[in-house]
Amino acid sequence: MAEAAVSSRRLNQTLEELGRFGYSPDGMQRLAFTPADVAGRDYAMSLMRRAGMGVRIDPGGNIIARREGSDPNLPAIAMGSHLDTVPNGGKYDGSLGVMGGIEVVQALSDANVSLRHPVEVLVFTNEEGTRFHRWLFGSRAMAGTLEPGDLTAVDDEGVLMSSRLADIQGNMDRVQRAGRQPGELAAYLELHIEQGPTLHQSGVPIGVVTGITGRWVYEADIVGVPNHAGTTPMSGRHDALVSASRLVLEVQRMASELEVCRVGTAGTIQAYPGAVNVVPGQVKVGFEFRDLEMACLAAADAEIRSVAARIAARDGVAIDINRFESTQSAPISSGMQELVAAASERAGLAHQRVPSGAGHDAQSMAGITDAAMIFVPSVDGVSHSPGEYSTPEACANGAQVLLELLLLADRRG
Ligand code: GLV
Ligand code: MN
Ligand code: MN
Q: What is the 211 CA–ligand 1 centroid distance (Å)?
A: 14
Same domain (yes/no): 41, 170: yes
Q: Does residue 2 belong to any structural domain of this protein?
A: no
Q: What is the 263 CA–ligand 1 centroid distance (Å)?
A: 13
With the most atoms of ligand 1 within 8 angstroms of its CB, the residue from 131, 291, 329, 360 to mutate is: 360
Question: What are the pLDDT tens digits along the chain (413 aa)?
Answer: 448 999 999 999 999 999 999 999 999 999 999 999 999 999 999 999 999 999 999 999 999 999 999 999 999 999 999 999 999 999 999 999 999 999 999 999 999 999 999 999 999 999 999 989 899 999 999 999 999 999 999 998 999 999 999 999 999 999 999 999 889 999 999 999 999 999 999 999 999 999 999 999 999 999 999 999 999 999 989 999 999 999 999 999 999 999 999 999 999 999 999 999 999 999 999 999 999 999 999 999 999 999 999 999 999 999 999 999 999 999 999 999 999 999 999 999 999 999 999 999 999 999 999 999 999 999 999 999 999 999 999 999 999 999 999 999 999 86
- Is ligand 1 within 6 A of the CB of residue 128? yes
Q: What is the DSSP string of 125-174?
A: S-SS-TTTS--SHHHHHHHT---HHHHT-B-TT--BHHHHHHHTT--GGG
- Is ligand 1 within 6 A of the CB of residue 89? no
Q: What is the 216 CA–ligand 1 centroid distance (Å)?
A: 12
376-395 pLDDT per residue, tens: 999 999 999 999 999 999 99
SS3 content of the chain, % helix, strand, coil (to 5): 40, 25, 40
Q: What is the 348 CA–ligand 2 centroid distance (Å)?
A: 28
Q: How many CB atoms lie within 10 A of CB 8?
A: 16
Same domain (yes/no): 218, 320: yes
Crossing angle of the two packed helices 95-110 and 8-18, in degrees rounded to 10 = 140
- Is ligand 1 within 6 A of the CB of residue 359? yes
138-183 pLDDT per residue, tens: 999 999 999 999 999 999 899 999 999 999 999 999 999 999 988 9
Same domain (yes/no): 300, 357: no
Out of 283, 298, 327, a domain closes at 327
What's the CATH code of the domain at 149? 3.40.630.10
Nearest CA to 220 among 285, 134, 309, 314? 285
Strand (E) or helix (H) holding 298: helix 294-315
Q: Is 392 exposed, middle or buried (0-12, 13-18, 19+ CB in 10 A)?
A: middle
Q: Does residue 286 belong to any structural domain of this protein?
A: yes
Which pLDDT belongs to residue 129? 95
Q: How far apart are CA 374 and CA 207, in angstroms?
A: 6
Same domain (yes/no): 317, 235: yes
Please report which ligand is nearest the Cα atom of 385: 2
- Is ligand 1 within 6 A of the CB of residue 32? no
Which pLDDT belongs to residue 413? 64
Same domain (yes/no): 183, 322: no
Same domain (yes/no): 172, 89: yes
Contacts of 60 (CB under 8 A, 6+ apart): 125, 137, 138, 141, 142, 165, 170, 175, 178
Q: Does residue 399 belong to any structural domain of this protein?
A: yes
What's the CATH code of the domain at 249? 3.30.70.360
205 touches 376 (CB < 8 A): yes
324 touches 218 (CB < 8 A): yes
Please report which ligand is nearest the Cα atom of 81: 3
Out of 298, 327, 356, a domain closes at 327
Same domain (yes/no): 53, 189: yes
> Which atom of ligand 1 is closest in space to residue 94's alpha carbon?
2
Residue range(s) defining the domain that contains residue 255: 214-327
Same domain (yes/no): 359, 241: no
Crossing angle of the two packed helices 392-411 and 95-110, in degrees rounded to 10 = 60
Which pLDDT belongs to residue 2? 47
Ramachandran sector of residue 276 (left: φ over 0; alpha: ψ -120 to 50; beta: rest): alpha
Same domain (yes/no): 321, 335: no
Q: Does residue 1 belong to any structural domain of this protein?
A: no
Q: Does residue 46 belong to any structural domain of this protein?
A: yes
